[in-house]
Amino acid sequence: VTDDGELENRLDALIEEYQLYLRGLGPEPDLSDLPRSLQETTKEGFKIVRALSDREPTSPPLEQDPVAIRLGLVGSGSSPRMLPGAGHRDSAGGEVLEASLDEVAFRFQGRISVDRTPSWSPDSPEGLRAVAQCTVLAEAVAVFAGDADAPELPGGLTRFFRLRPEISAACVSSSEAELAVVFAPADATPSLDPALGWLDPHRPRSPEPLALALGRFFEQRLPRWDRVSAADVFTTMDDFDTVAAVALNAEIATALRARPRLQFRKEGQRVLDEIDSARMASLVVTVQTGEMDSDELVEKLAAMAGAAAS
């Protein structure tokens, strides 16, 4: 092997060594044994390798990019969110958080009530600041400002859920409302595995903007009222109250035939047993005659369910 051959082999190897260095697998290559002119060209080659390295895989199209989706940048009909220009930064994090809660409330068209002075504030876990309570039907979510990644958080939330059984979930958000996670009690409680012993609670999901995290939580829990095809027949049907009462009684009877073992299910069955089917049927008729719209019906039913459960 000639000297030139050895030098070429050395230069080939240097590229590999530099890539290993970039990947954290070795020290930065030493060029001091190379002639000065070669040192310069090799350094230029390194810069090119560095600029090109780790470019694959490239980002998917915006509509399919998981990060863009998580950031809420993708969505049909959503208008572009403009960035504030120079000198217009929103320095007060609290305001951003409040604005995000308003956004959630607006999205659900008033079905969510937001209490900015929640009664459980004094019981807030250490390191978290009580912000609000968001309530819809039987769901009450405590919203806190704090670090959703803090290692002591699950322990603090377990205690909080024990003190406040009426709270069904806790949402912990950064003060800028950009990193928020919703914790259900199961996400903050250790579980017992017969083989492995006590297991740490699993993390519910990666942090995402408050409006998305809370919005998704409520979307999953709110009942969906699907449009019924060919429902027009009901608007002209005679003795509709009788038909409604028969259908209602049949459904209630089916539910009552079950033999629940869990206490809260037994309680639910008791409530169902006490429902006044004639009153329910009259409600359906008021919708048929157009005296009540579907939103009002939902409100009435929610009120009846709430009264029965209390």
Partner 1 sequence: MDELEPDPEELLPRWQAGRLDEASLYAEVADPMRQAARWGIRYITSSDPDTQDVEDVVYVAFCELRRKDPAGISSVIGLAKAIARKRGQDQGRKIVRRREQVYESIENLVETGATEFSDELVRAAAEDEELYLTAKDCLDRLPEEHRDLVAHTIMGPETLSDWALRKGKTHQAASKQKRKAIEAIRRCIKAKRSDETTGREVAS
- Nearest approach, Cβ of residue 50 and partner 1 (Å): 7
What value does the CA radius of gyration of the chain take, rounded to a whole number of Å?
30
Q: How many other C-beta atoms can be found within 10 angstroms of the C-beta atom of residue 9?
A: 11
| Residue number with CB closer to partner 1 (18 or 283) | 18
| Residue number with CB closer to partner 1 (40 or 296) | 40
- Nearest approach, Cβ of residue 152 and partner 1 (Å): 8
- Nearest approach, Cβ of residue 238 and partner 1 (Å): 55
Beta-strand runs (E) in 253-293: none
- Nearest approach, Cβ of residue 126 and partner 1 (Å): 12
Rounded distance between C-alpha atoms, residue 210 and residue 150, angstroms? 17
DSSP state of 121: G
Return residues touching partner 1 (CB under 8 A): 8-9, 11-13, 15-16, 19, 22-25, 41, 44-45, 47-59, 62, 65-68, 70-71, 73-74, 80-89, 149-152, 176, 178-179, 206, 208
Contact 165, 175 (CB under 8 A): no
| Residue number with CB closer to partner 1 (41 or 119) | 41
Nearest to 221 by CA among 252, 184, 251, 255: 184
| Residue number with CB closer to partner 1 (152 or 295) | 152
Rounded distance between C-alpha atoms, residue 146 and residue 144, angstroms? 6
- Nearest approach, Cβ of residue 181 and partner 1 (Å): 13
Token pair for 216: 């998704």
| Residue number with CB closer to partner 1 (199 or 309) | 199
Q: How many other C-beta atoms can be found within 10 angstroms of the C-beta atom of residue 5?
A: 9
